[in-house]
Amino acid sequence: MEGKSKIISGIQQIGIGVPNVHQAWAWYRKNFGMDVPIFQEEAEAKLMINYTGNEVHKRNAVLAINMQGGGGFEIWQFTSRMPEPANFEIKFGDHGIYAAKMKVVNVDALHKRYKKDQLEVLSEVMKDPAGKKHFFVKDLYGNIFQMEEADGWFDRNNYATGGASGAIIGVSNIEDSLKVYRDILEYDEVVYDETGVFEDFNSLSGGARKARRIKLKHASMRKGSFSKLLGPTTIELVELIDEKGAQIYKNRFWGDLGFIHICFDIKHMDSLRNECESKGFPFTVDSQNSFDMGEAAGHFSYIADPDGTLIEFVETHKIPIMKKMGWYLNLKNRNPEKSLPTWMIKALRFNRVKD
């Protein structure tokens, strides 16, 4: 694929390190509608030793999506060691993925429902500087999710949410971080760029600290096989002004508890490798050839942003469309810019796990 420009189709998934993959997935199915698995597998994470203490560790992982659209979750549990939490309270502005953004059909109604169901809701319904409604909620393990009003749905079902639509990421220097998020990941349009103390973050631990926040979106529609399903996304970078944020994963392993990475579905990995290297962010992990997750296959790599936050790229080669019938789709020879037919993507719903 040398010479062909990279294609970013969207956020494929956000990785979440959990202590119990089955318990976590059940919670995400019930509360976020993440009920369609793309793969489920127990294996060794051999290629990630740079981030797991130079030892190969075993893990159990599920990649699950919500058919209304948006990115999925890679729900990830160490099975060869006890996953560790941060040894400090993670606060707004700390460096790393602070919160996952989630697509919501009706923010006010969902806020009421979560309160009724006694979820740990952290805020009232607020508006960001662009006027978009949102609120924050924690999962079973203290991970924070920003539930944000959204449009651009792939399909409609009875769930109140879609999948992941971005992330809030704490950084030490926004200008340095833009070299990754704007220049490589193509979040090239500023929604807002403001500095101050923000009312909509006030209820969060550390949320009253003065910060610069810049919300970015991609000006062009994403292309590629799963672009319709993954939909539009945003990245919000936060830089503290008067103090320094802590490193969320300092002295911990990738796979430990929390948001371990943000993953983008891409095409033309060779071109992307060259671009990342030329811009000063070389691949730190590269599967080189096709990896096999049993039910899905592809080529994956990682880079780190200036603060060490891990960004994964996956070029998908094979996915299960209808596992029960043995229908797997080979993507290698398809037009890389064209989305798969809607009916074909919708067939993934037949893999749904029902509780």
222 within some domain: yes
344 within some domain: yes
Q: What is the DSSP letter of 72?
A: E
Beta strands in the chain (DSSP E): 7-17, 36-44, 58-65, 72-78, 96-104, 120-121, 126-127, 133-138, 144-149, 161-170, 189-196, 211-217, 234-240, 258-267, 285-286, 291-292, 297-304, 310-322, 327-330
160 within some domain: yes
Q: How far apart are CA 306 and CA 101, in angstroms?
A: 21
Neighbours of 210 (CB within 10 A): 13
72 within some domain: yes
* Mean pLDDT along residues 141-157: 93
Q: Which pLDDT does position 337 carry in this prediction?
A: 85
- State pLDDT tens for residues 49-80: 999 999 999 999 999 999 999 999 999 999 99
52 within some domain: yes
Query: Which domain covers residue 300, as residue numbers?
Result: 7-351
Q: Which pLDDT does position 3 carry in this prediction?
A: 58
Q: Which pLDDT does position 2 carry in this prediction?
A: 46
Residue 304, pLDDT > 80, answer yes
Neighbours of 161 (CB within 10 A): 23
* Alpha helix segments (H runs only) across 7-82: 21-32
What CATH number should be reported for the domain holding residue 62? 3.10.180.10
Q: How far apart are CA 152 and CA 178, in angstroms?
A: 25
Q: Which pLDDT does position 57 carry in this prediction?
A: 96
2 within some domain: no
Domains of the chain: total = 1
At residue 93 the predicted structure's pLDDT band, cuts being 50, 70 and 90, is very high
Residue 187, pLDDT > 70, answer yes
Q: Which pLDDT does position 131 carry in this prediction?
A: 97
Q: Which pLDDT does position 327 carry in this prediction?
A: 62
Whether residue 112 contacts residue 128, with contact meaning beta carbons closer than 8 Å, is answered with no
Q: Which pLDDT does position 106 carry in this prediction?
A: 96
Quote the mean pLDDT of the chain. 93
* Residues 6+ away with beta carbon under 8 Å from 131: none
- State pLDDT tens for residues 323-332: 666 666 777 7
Q: Which pLDDT does position 157 carry in this prediction?
A: 85
* Mean pLDDT along residues 113-135: 98
* Mean pLDDT along residues 148-169: 93
Residue 291, pLDDT > 60, answer no
User: What pTM was computed for the model?
Assistant: 0.94
78 within some domain: yes
Query: What whole-number percentage of the chain has pLDDT above 70?
Result: 94
Closest by CA position to 220, among listed 84, 337, 115: 337
1 within some domain: no
* C-alpha separations of 64 from 26, 95, 221, 230 in Å: 11, 26, 24, 13
Q: Which pLDDT does position 333 carry in this prediction?
A: 75
